[in-house]
Structure 1
């Protein structure tokens, strides 16, 4: 195992992603091979991690993954000098209230991997009280290793002295103090950060974060705080659903979990990327077409005009399977209505009609038991995944693909759909239960 740390915070919006990216790049600049991870089901942050560290970032999810899969993903750190994981939401916030083995919190990830927590505290509007917050997080779970705090948005030297006095009183190590700066926020949209490929100058932004962290964080103390935890049992990454997989990949379709792609490649599958936005058809020799999630609603007009893509997709579906997740599922439907109420023609391989004109938030873990086959999985298979979108179903005339429930076992109406060789789900698959 490789020594590691987990960067977390009391809540979202404290600056932990900026700290994470700056830390990854600064350590890499020091000559370390840095392996990034993301705790939880986020599918945007890993692309930023890759840009900062130069190594693919993988999700670790204590609700959706069993111990064997966690071990297989942790083994991706082979050859690295240090692992740095980024938490989701607040440190103890679980998206589930019960599940296979846990609630899906960042604290669970840190505990299972044996990685001490670096807590990023937004110090705005408080002084010594910040220490009470940090102390509560450090003692809430006595068995959770705790490295110390990085203070963010500190207004002045006097402000820093007051906060440090509180941290000294609480016996907590201060690993860094970041002055307040207004130019350190990453661009966002309704699902969180924009995608890494959309950032106007990501390399310059990350280089700036690294300089800022180097000037204000004790990197030597960070490295010293990293610990080697007990190795999870070594399992296997998920096998591929086909031998030759045509994978849609562009600004409209980009949300594929890295551990899935790695598992497919590791098992010898050939991944054949193509761009629906460039009006490219899937490779004719592909055994399966896979449309991942993304932002088709932002490109609906171009997708509606992509005749070559749509015709190639229909030809493939005549003889071989096609599957879509979330955005890919919507693109397989009859129509997508954008936020302005404009109706755009989609592939028409399913009867699904979705709308962003009336937004409805869908978020949470999903457990789906297939009632019909899905590429790579027979009926009866239980899949674990995550759903995160704002679209509303106006029509779905096709048979359901699965019985879907949230993490508490409550039924979810978005059951996916299938027609002949075409299937789709609103949840992004993370793993299949043994």
Structure 2
């Protein structure tokens, strides 16, 4: 049971949890239900995190987590986490999770649907075609949500989705269902690879992608094979291994040309950035052109239909071109042109494929080009939207490009504004997602 220690409760939250006849795992499930009722997309909490909050070991929470906890317990998070005083009036147990709020008919239907799903998945029976489709819908939602949701709010759902897929793959399945489950396992594995990359853990990221490629082999799906190779190329590029990035991208091009998914232009765009990092301007520009040609040859396919992080749309391709050119000497004007075009394409947050990280990277590419051409005021203005991102959105690759801008400003350091920008960049990278508790 939650908080059933013999010692005195350490926080008000721990006191309230001891009033409930629930395990921490059950409380975590209740948290997820309340989050859905509040339309807090992608918000979850682990049993370990909840236990540490209750014990007073942790105080950091995201705004969304605070809203859910306040709804569950009827108290602000600051009140929940303050030391428990037995002499003070005890919090009213009526405000705890047993009586969070009166559910509407729609909320009750959502709760019933979730209960049905949990029951079906826990019976250890082979999933039906309808069950596979339900899992596919859930994972499609995650693929689309990944681009717009801070990772700390999404990671629990990703791990839960992987467990759902694996629990079904452990059972005997019809061949068609098994292949679809391996298809889904590849996508979830790829997203977990992205997650590890965003946290600045490239070895963990590559481990996830190697396993995901194996699932793609079991699914016998060239689009998935190409997508995972693109992700491996991306990871290597951002960890300072441009030759490995080229190798992985080349390894995926044959799969991509057969599948004709948006991974085809992605792999060429990956090569363009890597060749720019290697100083090969001619090859980098050639790959930008190849990416454009490949985008024109994309056909409708089951992978790109998942959307979100599974597809490589023109806005992202334009940003890649900007980042490529910003790395090349003498290409600042062209880099600025592509970066401004990408920023314009990412203006509408409701547009399919909108991605806060690519939008931020587009501003960074513009700032990098401006810094290298001596436009200090322009670089400062371009950096502002990125510098204002909350820590949970400051993913690892943003730090990398920030450091490139920092280096480009070294040539301008007598300029007072350049020094001020560098100080802000250093603060940004210190307080970012790789150091953020997830």
Fold shared, TM-score > 0.5 on shorter chain: no
- Relative to the length of structure 1, the TM-score reads 0.31
Q: Which has the larger radius of gyration?
A: 2
User: Which of the two has greater helix per residue?
Assistant: 2
